[in-house]
Amino acid sequence: MTARLLDGQAIAAAIRQSVLPDVAAFATAVGRPPGLGIVLVGEDPASEIYVRNKVRAGTESGLWVDLQRLPSSATLEDLLVVVERLNRSDPHDGILVQSPLPAAMGRGAAQRVFDAIDPEKDVDGFHPVSVGRLVQGRAQLAPCTPSGVIEMLQRSDIPMSGARAVIVGRSEIVGKPMAMLLLQRDATVTVCHSKTRDLPALCATADILVAAIGRAGFVTPDFVRPGATVVDVGINRVTDGAIARRLFAPGSPRLADFERRGSVVVGDVHPDVVEVAGALTPVPGGVGPLTIAMLLKNTVAAAQGRQRPA
């Protein structure tokens, strides 16, 4: 058996297409397009790529995207001043501060920034008010990656109601909100982490297995019940040849790609899982494109919400 690959690119394109009428209607009614403010601190190479993709996708969808850059020497106070200015700015309907922040800003800096963003503009869904609404099942702006996973499962006809779902990873960004969203669709959810006992055996009970642990190829075939749906949220850049050869068989195109480039992007799920799972999200091309699509959808929702009477 070889798993059906779930095409995140195609689903993301459909989501982006679906927001176009709302963008046009908002622009006609308000006299301006929905606006997204993105703040990038420093010059982290991965963040540069992520932000460039967000700016391009937003612009192509008709949004006004305002990229604000701060040098790596900026302090947390400098960043909070920018966030407060965007909070007060009417044309900015959504605010996103790209993570990770420079280590020099100190431990807990990201949470202080998330707490400072106006909840009505919190398109990442990380503010405590946003989290509270999510837990209560009335989120206006849910975190983009878990929301994208739900869209993928729905559009791929993967049943969630009554399914046993296991999530590997308990982060505030993916693991915990993913659990809430699946619970709200009547799945029975288990969240696993580094202290979970008998992890492979527990994962192998899942109808839907979500890997969001940040370790290349961590989820191997023994974690997967035959026919299960496996969602790989991980994005890991491998530069170690020994790891690449552990993940990819001799002569495989991905190993050849590694040998040519000196690096390869892989998920948290080992490639051999494709022989066991019923459906699988590839990396790249699976969950990643959905995150940006849901960011655009959240920005439009935030814009619409700010125009409604209180």
Cβ neighbours for 99, distance < 8 A, ≥ 6 positions apart: 47, 110
The confidence band for 309, taking pLDDT boundaries of 50, 70 and 90, is low
Tokens of 224: 């997967």
pLDDT above 90 (res 68)? yes
**Hey, which residues are catalytic here?**
54, 98, 124
Cβ neighbours for 122, distance < 8 A, ≥ 6 positions apart: 94, 95, 114, 129, 130, 141, 302
Q: How high is the pLDDT of residue 310? A: 53
Chain Cα centroid distance, residue 228? 21
Average pLDDT over residues 231-244: 94
Q: How high is the pLDDT of residue 98? A: 95
The confidence band for 308, taking pLDDT boundaries of 50, 70 and 90, is confident
pTM for this structure? 0.94
The confidence band for 232, taking pLDDT boundaries of 50, 70 and 90, is very high
pLDDT above 90 (res 45)? no
pLDDT above 90 (res 150)? yes
- Type of residue found at 194: S
Question: Percent of the chain scored above 70 by pLDDT?
Answer: 99
Architecture category of domain 27-118 in CATH:
3-Layer(aba) Sandwich (3.40)
Average pLDDT over residues 248-274: 93
pLDDT, mean over the chain: 95
Mention the CATH class of domain 144-287.
alpha beta
Average pLDDT over residues 95-123: 95
What is the per-residue pLDDT across 184-221, written as a single tens digit (0 to 9) for each?
Answer: 999 999 999 989 999 999 999 999 999 999 999 999 99
Please, which contacts does 184-193 make with residues 24 or more away whose CB atoms are closer than 8 Å? 184/137, 185/150, 185/160, 185/161, 186/160, 186/161, 186/162, 187/160, 187/161, 187/162, 187/163, 188/162, 188/163, 188/164, 189/165, 190/164, 190/165, 190/166, 191/167, 192/166, 192/167, 192/168, 193/168, 193/169
The confidence band for 287, taking pLDDT boundaries of 50, 70 and 90, is very high
Domain boundaries, the chain: 27-118, 144-287
Average pLDDT over residues 148-163: 98
Matching CATH topology for 27-118 and 144-287? yes
